[in-house]
Amino acid sequence: MSCDIIIDGLLVWTREAGLERVKILIADDHTLMRDGIRRILEREPGFDVVAEAGDGEEAIALIKKLAPDIAIIDIAMPKMDGIEVTQRVKALCPKTAVLILTAYDDDEFVFSLIEAGAAGYLLKSVQSQELIHAIHALRAGESVLHPSIARKVLDHFVPSLAKREEQPPLEILTDRELEVLKLVTKGLSNKEIGDKLTLSVRTVEGHLGIIFGKLGVSSRTEAVYRALKEGWVTLDSMP
């Protein structure tokens, strides 16, 4: 599974005419951190920071009210931690993608947040441009995991699924959608999937949008986890 943050062509995503701007919420209990993230994002064309929250409860209230496209969430926050916030967001606003941006890479946090539905997980040590690319990636349906986090996820989840036999998707997905999902599981980018299936990138994005809607997820990370968990794909289909 590819876990690259920087993906060729993603900068086109919010700069093409007619595409909606990306609404972003930042939730972190450190004011200086929120200010720094906001300044980085506000310099990027197509990004709108619509709200900031200093604790988990405030984050949930604002997300419920504003339905941002991306919620950048820290783990350690007053009143409600990032794990509970992620769970609540996926229940209340499943189309909002949660991007964890934190200093913590403890296994218990990583696994709990992936299972809760986090679309991406970055450490605060990333460069500003990597954060910008990550948001573009999430909007394009790509996976966003810090390399060290990706290794933890694979080491934790993959062995427990190694002996499962592939199961049909119970008519949830069409043959074409399952074909796209299997290529996602291989780590192919939208452009690579399009080249392989002779489809435009926009058509691939459309298929991914439908797949995400049917599965109740908002990212590749969640979709791949669901596909592996349900047995729709096996480790043989992964790199």
Find out whether 117 and 88 touch, Cβ atoms under 8 Å.
no
The dotted CATH code for 165-237 is 1.10.10.10
**Cβ contact 120:221 at 8 Å:** yes
**Is 170 a residue whose pLDDT tops 60?**
no
220-230 and 107-116 helices, crossing angle to 10°: 90
Residue 40 CA, chain-centre distance (Å), reads 20
Any idea what the Cα angle at residue 135 is, between residues 130 and 140, rounded to 5°?
120
Identical fold between 10-152 and 165-237: no
Whether the model clears a pTM of 0.95, i.e. scores above it, the answer is no
Question: CB–CB of 156/111 below 8 Å?
Answer: yes
- Concatenate the DSSP letters of all residues of 94-115 into one string: TTSEEEEEES---HHHHHHHHH
pLDDT band at 207 (very low <50, low <70, confident <90, very high): confident
Query: Quick one: average pLDDT of 214-225?
Result: 76
Distance CA 72, CA 135 (A): 9
More confident residue, 192 or 222: 192
- 147-161 and 220-230 helices cross at what angle (nearest 10)? 20
Q: How far apart are the two ends of the chain, measured CA to CA in Å?
A: 6
Domain locations in the chain as residue ranges: 10-152, 165-237
Architecture of domain 10-152: 3-Layer(aba) Sandwich (3.40)
Position 159 confidence tier, pLDDT thresholds 50, 70, 90: very low
